[in-house]
Amino acid sequence: MVATAQDAVPDDIGALRAALAAALARAEDEAARAALVEAELAVARAKASDDAALIAHQDLTIRKLQRALHGQSSERSARLHDQMELTFEELESTATEDEIAAEQAAARTTEVAPYVRKRPARQPFPEHLPRARVVEPAPAACHCCGGHRLRKLGEDITETLEVVPRQWKVIQHVREKFTCRDCEAISQAPAPFHATPRGWAGPGLLAMILFEKFGQHQPLNRQAERYAREGVPLSLSTLADQVGAGAAALMPLFKRLEAHVLAASRLHGDDTTVPVLAKGKTDTGRLWTYVRDDRPFGGADPPAAVFYYSRCRRGEHPAVHLAGWSGILQADAFGGYGDLYATGRQPAPVLEASCWAHSRRKVFELADVEAAARKKARGDKPNLVYPVAVEAVKRIDALFDIEREINGLSPAQRHAARQEQSVPLVTELERWMIETRDKLSRGHDLSKAFNYMLRRWSSFTRFLDDGRICLSNNAAERALRGIALGRKSWLFCGSDRGGQRAAVLYSLIASAKLNDIDPQAWLADILARIAAHPAQRIDDLLPWNWKSAKLRTQPAAA
């Protein structure tokens, strides 16, 4: 006869209770073991996540130090740096999440200690932030004996950083009317100035609209949606009207900024594409920038950038932009600058200083081993990697190493250092490129890259005889970087006038950033003052003068 599970159950009540207690004990033991395993696993996971975040942080720190000491190791280093920061952010968030999970799992058992990550000491909150004291209710009786004879001994303060959501308000300017008892005339204070005619937007709001659109690349339709969610419905046409009025109010400041930039003896120039809305399609317009930055050679004049818009890239546009200017132009080898370099140009020919970073990029594309490996891994046809191109990149990088050492010195000091250190390297580089090129076919990619430099050798080597000239045109490329990022948000300019208006605002915002000024705070202040500001003192509102005035008033305000 086959025994069943029911036959194994005892009939005695006492035996049943004992069996049930044993089963419950086994279940508790199994639950405890499961909780223990779960806690140990959670702690191990937290430790692994913490280790991964720590490694990513150390790797990122090493890359930053290497970049500060030796400059960009490749043309992709800036992009890789951003990717590493994003990876670190994700790993740090994961480590914190796993730490909390390990703490919760350890709380369910007494045998596993919770895992606590080692964090660097937090810096104190900035002193300029206002402090709001929230005093917790004092105990009414002693927690130990229950006595009521309590005396204050001191206090402990726990600081919490908080943010107050943006607050909208309507400011009512009240102008009281008075009548004269003698002549019955009515007297009243004048209406307050607005930055724009018939304006309704305060300077802070107007500055925010302009900076969001041209500094943060948020189109007006997205701004209108956000304002509506905050309870302030503003139509797209209303916001656009304020942008046009704000640009018109700031035009005198743009003109003074333009005059300052074109007073420089050396400029960085570059351009980038900008889609422009046309009938049923978009055309490709251009935004040109000219940057004055004398800081690499210790110049005392403040940096600034000016932008211009055009519908095409013909050479007539830079000729108009720099019609009355002569000096040294650091730019890429764009044929449209040819009229500026012409011998008979008036008032004088512009001297060309070519960009070594641009020429290095052409060679580096033939030496990028990592890019070729990635293409091969994806199944694409990889680029050919030439050992000769790697050697060329190393020789050019040696020049950049010297430039980093002399950055910020006077022109005379830079010239002396270049004559001693850079001239031999450049002379040897020219000889080596000619010998190497002659061994290659004319159609070889490396021959084309070498010819790009050798045909313009006088403009590439001009930096050796002038301490003011930089080795690269990165100043102009940095000024255009925001526009390249913004194209993904605003997609296109609505018209040619929109492109011209954008150039004005880009000039103001980029110049403020070059002078380490918060563009929105600066715009808000000058928009509040510009209507009543004397025209002959418009230079006081330029970013560097505005910053100096603010610094002078800070000690008195404190």
Q: Write the DSSP assignment of 450-493 as a string of letters.
A: HHHHHTTHHHHSGGGG-TT--S--HHHHHHHHHHHHHHHHH-SB
Element (H, E) at 352: strand 351-354
Q: What is the pLDDT of residue 557?
A: 39
Confirm if 261 and 306 have CB atoms less than 8 A apart: yes
**CA-CA distance, 215 to 213, in Å (whole number)?**
6
**Which residues, listed in sequence order, are joined to residue 273 by a DSSP beta bridge?**
286
Query: Distance of CA 430 to CAs 439, 445, 450, 454, 458, Å?
Result: 15, 18, 9, 8, 11
| Positive/negative CA dihedral, 372, 376, 382, 384 | positive
Confirm if 211 and 178 have CB atoms less than 8 A apart: no
Residue 426's SS3 state is helix
**CA-CA distance, 129 to 136, in Å (whole number)?**
21
Confirm if 188 and 178 have CB atoms less than 8 A apart: yes
- Considering only CA atoms, which of 518, 527, 523, 504 is closest in space to residue 249? 527
Q: Where are the domains of the chain?
A: 86-117
Instruction: For the chain of 558 residues, list the mean pLDDT of each consecutive stretch of 10.
Output: 56 73 76 79 80 75 68 51 59 72 78 74 76 84 82 80 79 86 84 72 90 89 88 83 85 94 95 78 85 92 95 91 94 90 91 92 74 61 73 92 93 95 95 91 87 93 94 91 73 73 93 94 91 88 85 51
**CA-CA distance, 490 to 181, in Å (whole number)?**
60
Confirm if 117 and 51 have CB atoms less than 8 A apart: no
Q: What is the pLDDT of residue 494?
A: 66
**CA-CA distance, 219 to 213, in Å (whole number)?**
5
Token reading at 113: 């200690």
Q: What is the pLDDT of residue 7?
A: 58
Query: Distance of CA 486 to CAs 81, 124, 216, 402, 527, Å?
Result: 20, 34, 8, 34, 24
- Considering only CA atoms, which of 459, 474, 452, 481 is closest in space to residue 400? 474
**CA-CA distance, 193 to 339, in Å (whole number)?**
46
**CA-CA distance, 445 to 451, in Å (whole number)?**
10
Query: Distance of CA 516 to CAs 405, 484, 546, Å?
Result: 23, 21, 12
**Which residues, listed in sequence order, are joined to residue 187 by a DSSP beta bridge?**
178
Contacting residues for 189 by C-beta, under 8 A, at least 6 apart = 175, 176
Confirm if 244 and 213 have CB atoms less than 8 A apart: no
Contacting residues for 302 by C-beta, under 8 A, at least 6 apart = 260, 514, 515, 542, 543, 544
